[in-house]
Amino acid sequence: GTKELAEGAAVLVDPESVDDIAAGIGRVLDDRGLRETLIAAGRERSREFQWRRCAVETLRVLERAAPQGRAR
């Protein structure tokens, strides 16, 4: 879900609450330290979603799941 994707790189709010969304935006605008932390965390987190890394991780999973030494 969204919480897992955000993982410390976002201010989580109730998406159905205008007041909660406004408060979350306000926190980021008003708190420079929070803003800088979120920017750095977002950049770091985005590295995990690069296509090359995704392909390498998928290949590892497939190699572990495939029966060893059995051709089809």
pLDDT (tens digit per residue) in 3-50: 777 878 999 999 999 999 999 999 999 999 999 999 999 999 888 778
Over range 52-64, report the average pLDDT: 90
Number of domains in the chain: 1
Asked if the structure places residue 29 within a domain, the reply is yes
Residue with tokens 């980021």: 28
Asked if the structure places residue 70 within a domain, the reply is no
Asked if the structure places residue 72 within a domain, the reply is no
Asked if the structure places residue 35 within a domain, the reply is yes
pLDDT > 80? residue 54: yes
The Cβ-side half-sphere exposure at 45, using a 13 Å CA radius, reads 14
Asked if the structure places residue 18 within a domain, the reply is yes
Q: Could you tell me the two tokens for 1?
A: 């879900």
Asked if the structure places residue 50 within a domain, the reply is yes
Q: Global pTM?
A: 0.64
> Distance of CA 35 to CAs 13, 32, 66, Å?
15, 5, 44
